[in-house]
Chains A and B, each alone.
Chain A
């Protein structure tokens, strides 16, 4: 992990002194706010609500807005991580310093993950607002944020790998969207494929189904294993890719 802290700090600084993080934050919060507003407005017109379809459940579990904004936010956060350094040549200064590949990858990845968490932080306000007018089911809140963290962390890991494989930020962005969207599409298979192992597989990897479950306060170990894999595998490959630059 040699070099982790300096790289983490530098990435955070670079992210937040350039407009990128602020632009993403604005667009992201606008979309989330819109989604939350519509849901609350819609639900306020209903006379009766079932236990599993309160505003939080709808916001985290049943809104396509959430998934779509993640599909755009995560690739945009990770696209520059390695691609920009490779294009501008700063990678040469970085990799000739006494740093390890693990330190470089971990520093960069955790910086975007922190940024991602910071972007979600203001949405806690929604919970505060709901609390003013009614009861809040805290296990639902906890499980939902865990799901959001898991999916985001997985997409960010995927994006980190894509950024390490190209010197073009645009290519990194598109590849990450393609892969994370591909995973999302796989999930739709749950509704269109005949019952069988394939349909089960689709249900297992379906981001939408997973969020639906989390939003009901269900934390399934299989989901945790799935996210851990989605985070670990791309990062492991990224470390190998970064290491391989030193080989012939």
Chain B
């Protein structure tokens, strides 16, 4: 009964762990500057998420090939060149849909070419890396970044500007202070605390599951002996 509960719990939280509690953005702080400084409107969250999707997925795909066919020394150069090229393409594409937002984001649009998530994960690839799990993991990481961006942006845009997706909405009390970058740190800190609590809970359940399994095996062994 306990094991079925554990399995149900883990199944339900598998996606949450991938998108939130095990996200490299929260766990090792990759792409944190974007999360803190630019998460002030939902439109910028959408623009940066789409840009990261193009840059990260594209660079990972090329890096997989580079890991297989190129010497180790030239791989970082290829990865950065690819991400820069993809960033420029993404920027042109985003300018059509989010013109004002792209202008407002300024340097952060260009910094996406050398974002921590892409650089770390592309350089960690080896010639034995399997494409499908790598690309699946990359997509989940981008999704995790997007979820966090949207959550923080929603909170900050609603309270700070009194708008949602640029449209004015009724807000009880406007707090322009939440638009200041330091508040981004505070929100990320709270999210990190939430992720830690969730991870602790999952770890506790996993340990209980292992203990139950061991107990069951020892009972079977005892029965056999008897």
Q: Verify that A and B bind, or say they do not.
A: no
Chain B positions near chain A (C-beta within 8 angstroms) = none
